[in-house]
Structure formats: structure tokens, C-alpha cells
Structure 1
Amino acid sequence: MFVQQPIAILDSGVGGLTVAREVMRQLPREKIVYFGDTARAPYGPRDPKVVTRFTREIVDYLIQYRPKMIVIACNTATAFALEEIRAIVDIPVVGVIKPGARAALGRTITGCIGVIGTEGTINSGAYEHALLEISPNVHVISEACPLFVPLVEKGNFRSLQTYETIRSSIGHLRKFPMDSLILGCTHYPFLADVIQEVVGPDINLISSADETAREVSNILQDQGMLARGEVIPVHQFFCSGEPQMFKSIAQQWLGEQIELTPVVWQVPQIG
């Protein structure tokens, strides 16, 4: 039946696992098919048209599994490709930017919100637009952090190198009166402990994963598409790059063994 179809989640790499884990927690009956484009990560420095093409290619691949919903669990891909993907498929497509913005606005007291993300996400202005669309008086401070995704993709979540990279990238944000900081890349929750250490304990770190999973749940419930029954789903994972690192990170983050299928992908140069 249609309600038993999977939820497709895609990302440039392992970052979307933060969203997948929250979907699995909130919706334990739902089967997930996940694609991490690790061979072509990071997406942040790439041209928007290239990011959009990559996202379409992944969607084309995942459609064979007849998903009932697509979650673009990548901020850069959400910023550049969300509307185009919605135009070419006839199922709900959820991004991570608006859910993250809503979560931050629900937590801020001062009305000063920081956003860190990839070059592509920050340059797109997508978070600033989403925040100001809801709350015109909010003050937004944005900072691109291109060195963060490579740390995560290598599994380097906590080390002296990680701390120094994060400190040099965002340490200066402490001078602003922000009380909330949006982790505007789904890779960044892997680095949350160190980010919190750098910005200080009084700053709310906002991950879009919780709010995105909540939006997924609401849409499926409203459209009568929630999975039924007591069968425990077997999730499927695909990656386009080196499988062992992806599998190690995924199993560590999700706390369970996974079924992983490598996918051979053409890997162009950054551009």
C-alpha cells in the first residue's frame, strides 16, 4: 500500500544522518532510504546549477524505490534545488531551512540569531530570508564555515585540530549579542560539542533535524500516509564515495548496524 512506501532522505554526505536519526526516533514505523553523495561532497563551494543537477540526479536514483516523500537534508541543496525538485515530482518534498528558522525564532529572546553554514548556503541568503519573512525585526549574523564539512566527512569530530578550526572560524561571533546559533548545515551537529565550547554555554545551538522530522510527521499525518502495523522497517543506505568511512560514521551516529550499498558516481571538479 502507498502508506508503506519509504521516506527518501538525501544529503551531500553524512550530514543528513542527523535528520534521518530524528525521523527514525519520531517515526519508528517509517522505512528510510538514504543517499549520501560523499564522492562529490562538499556541495557548499559548488555552483548553484551544479548543486541543483546533483540533487536531481540523486532524486532520479531514489525514485526507483517509490518513496512517498523526499527530504532534502542538505542546506545547500535546499537553498538551490528545493523548488525545482518540487516542480518535477508529485510527492511532498521537505527542505531543512524553514524548519531550522522556525526553531530558532521559537528559542531566541534577544532577537539576535547567528547562522553558520557552507559558502553556498550563506551566500544564498536563504536563512536570512526565511527568518525575516517570519519575524521582520530579527537581527541575523551569518558566517560561512567551509572547513567544517571536511572534518565531519573524515570522522574528525573532536580533536585539537577540530577545536582550533572551529575557534578560528566562529570565535569572533561571541562579540555579538546573539542568544541562538543555527547550525545551518546538517553536518554541523556532529561538531556541536566543540561549537558549544567555542561560543559558550549561554548560546542555544539550533539544529533543524528535530523540526524537520516534525514537519515530515505532520505532512504524512495530514495526508493519511503514515506507515501502519508493527513491522520494524529495514532502512537502506547508499553512498557514492568510500563506503567504510560512511558506514562507520552512520553506525556510530545511529547506534545500529546498517545496510549500505555503494553507488558509482561520476565525480567532477569543484565548480
Structure 2
Amino acid sequence: MVYGDRVKIALVDSGIGLLAAATAVRELRPDADLVLSSDPDGLPWGPRTPQDVTARALAAAEAAAAHRPDALVIACNTASVCALPALRARFEPELPVIGTVPAIKPAAAAGGTVAIWATPATTGSPYQRRLIADFGAGAPVTEVPCPGLADAVQYADEGAIERAVAAAAALTPDDVRSVVLGCTHYELVADRIRAAVRPGGRPPVLLYGSAGAVAAQALRRTGERPEPDATRTGALTVLLSGRASELPQEALAYPEGRLLSGVGAAR
């Protein structure tokens, strides 16, 4: 692949969960070009077989790679679990591939009880249990399934978001200190999750998403440094199941989507 002079970061997800990581990249490098490749024709990926997820993630990644990015971020926990080896085999070393892993390690290091909010398919999975064993540092960890939350966020369904967040909060221990957001969609409603877990004026919990770490790693893999004061000249390319498009209307329900839509032009 031939790269241009400006840094360009591509992000892949089934839907708008990639907005959080894309915004984190934009905040670190306002001059970076972004390619957002999602798969509205095939979402949600969570209920699909690993083989299906891999095939759809590869297709979304191929569409993004055609725009010659300097790094490819898999901004999806499900795709990172199922497809990361295949994606790296396909694109590396020419194109660095960065996966998304729940931030269990820093949450455990903060001390106290930890809750991991994740999709029902991920909750209790060997993958998540292995992460807890490897990075949980012996902290008390509660796995909290969040049925319907990712879909509710994807479609900006306020009522469904409220119900799903409330149901997951009811399963979260009262003494929890940290909540790990184990699905990239959840980062778009982080404030609502924080409020639901700590009602009544109690001290807020610490929320641990992956967007910031993923964005920083993407820049490291490209050899670039953060320049948050750079001029906001970065362009935005949106691909929906491989088709050149604009951000879906649902994305504009979130500050991240509005920020991205106001910077650069789709091309």
C-alpha cells in the first residue's frame, strides 16, 4: 500500500460504536483523516457465528483499506475477539491492525469492586473470563449482561436505552467502584450509565472505556505523536457496508457523531 503525507486512520465496527474511538483520534490529532467503515447491512455482529463475524469484519476492513489508511482500528469488541487473527494475517505488516480489549487491567488497578458491562454473548465467555484471570489482579469482578443495550444505542432509541441501562444497573453491586464498558457502543451513553449506577448523590463510579487507549495505540503504530492543538483539517470518509455515504442519522444523536460530522467532508 502507498500512504500519503497526512496521517489517516481507518476504523471498523458493525455500527456506530466506532464513534467513540474516532472521536478520541480526532481529539489527539484534529488534522488526521478518518475512514469510518461500518456494516449496517449485517449488524448486529454479536449473535453471528465467529466465522460470519470474521467474514463481515474482513469485508468492512477491505473497504476501508481501499482508502489507503496508515492504521486500521477494529473498534468492536466482538470483531476483536473473533476476527483479529484473520485481519492481522490479511493486512499486517503493511497496515497495522489495532484491536479493542475491555479495560479490565486499569479498572482492577484502581482497587475495589469491578463490574464489566458487556453483551450477553460476551458475558461469561471464555474470552472475558480469561481477561479477568489475566488482568483482574484478584479484584472482585461481577460480569453484567446488558441485553438490548447495544441495539438501543445503535438506533438512538431513548426509551430502550433507559430500560437497558436500568436493568444492567440493577444487576451491578451497590459497592462497585469501577465499571468496565465491554462494548464500544456503551461509551456513547457513558454519562447515563454512571448516573444509573450511582443514583441519589452517592460518589460516582469510575468508568473505563477503550476509546482513548485505542486511539493512542493507533498513533503509536503509525509513528505519529498526539498534536491536540493542530488545525482541524482532517477529512471524514464514511462507508456503510462498503458504500460511500454520510454518517447515519442516528449517529447525530450523540455528541461524538455531531463533532465528527462537523469536521471535514466525506470523500
Q: CA deviation at 1:208?
A: 0.8
Q: Report the alpha carbon displacement of residue 237 of structure 1 after superposing the two structures with TM.
A: 1.1
Question: Is contact 2:124-2:143 (8 Å) kept?
Answer: no
Residue 48 of structure 2: aligned partner: 46
Q: Does 1:169 align with 2:171?
A: no
Superposition map of 1:127-206 within 5 A: 127-156=128-157, 158-159=158-159, 161-175=160-174, 177-200=175-198, 201-206=203-208
Report if the CA contact (8 A) 1:35-1:238 is conserved. yes
**Quick one: distance in 1 between partners of 2:169 and 2:47?**
18
- For residues 97-129 of structure 1, give each alpha carbon's deviation from its aligned partner in whole angstroms, at most 9, with x where no partner exists: 06x2344244x211x321111233335443442
User: How far apart in 2 are the matches of 1:245 and 1:66?
Assistant: 20
Structure 1 residues 235, 189: closer, same or farther in 2, change over 3 A? same
Q: Distance in 2 between matches of 1:233 and 1:96?
A: 23
AA aligned opposite 1:88: R
Matched-pair contact (CA < 8 Å) for 2:64–2:239: no
Output the amino acid matched with 2:205: I
Amino acid corresponding to residue 190 of structure 2 in structure 1: A
More helix by share: 1
Question: In structure 1, how many angstroms separate the alpha carbons of the residues matched to 2:98 and 2:186?
Answer: 19
What SS is found at the alignment partner of 1:78? helix
Distance 1:220 1:50 in 2: 29
Q: Which residue of 1 aligns with 2:97?
A: 93
Partner of 1:266: none
- Any conservation in 1 of the 2:154–2:250 contact (CA below 8 Å)? no
Structure 1 residue 94, shift from structure 2 partner: 0.7
CA deviation after TM superposition for structure 1 residue 230, in Å: 6.3
Separation in structure 2 between the aligned mates of residue 68 and residue 164 of structure 1, nearest angstrom: 40
Deviations 1:228-250 (A, max 9, x none): x9682211111239978714524
The 2-side partners of 1:231 and 1:26 are apart by 11
Are 2:28 and 1:30 equivalent residues in the alignment?
no
Match of 1:121 in 2: 122
Correspondence for 2:68 among 66, 73, 97? 66
SS in 2 for 1:155: coil
The 8 Å contact of residues 34 and 238 in structure 1, kept in 2 or not, is answered as yes
Which runs of no fewer than 5 residues in structure 1 stay unpaired?
A: 262-271
- Off by >4 Å, runs of 4+ in structure 1: 224-227, 241-245, 258-261
Distance change >3 Å, CA 241–CA 130, structure 1 → 2: same
1:104 lines up with 2:107 in the alignment: yes
Letter in 2 for 1:101: I
CA distance in 2, matches of 1:68, 1:116: 31
TM-score normalized by the length of structure 2: 0.82
Asked if 1 retains the 8 angstrom alpha-carbon contact of 2:76 and 2:183, the reply is yes
| Residue pair 1:14, 1:38 contacting (<8 A) in 2 also | no
Q: CA deviation at 1:252?
A: 4.5
Q: Would the alpha carbon gap of residues 82 and 169 (structure 1) be closer, same or farther in structure 2, given more than 3 Å must change?
A: same
1:56 is aligned to 58
Identity rate, percent: 24
Letter in 1 for 2:185: H
Amino acid at match of 2:161: T
Q: How far does residue 62 in structure 1 lie from its aligned partner after superposition?
A: 1.6
CA separation of 1:226 and 1:188: change in aligned 2, threshold 3 A: closer
Aligned residue pairs total 252
Give the superposition deviation at 1:135: 4.5
**Counterpart-to-counterpart distance in 2, 1:220 and 1:94:** 11
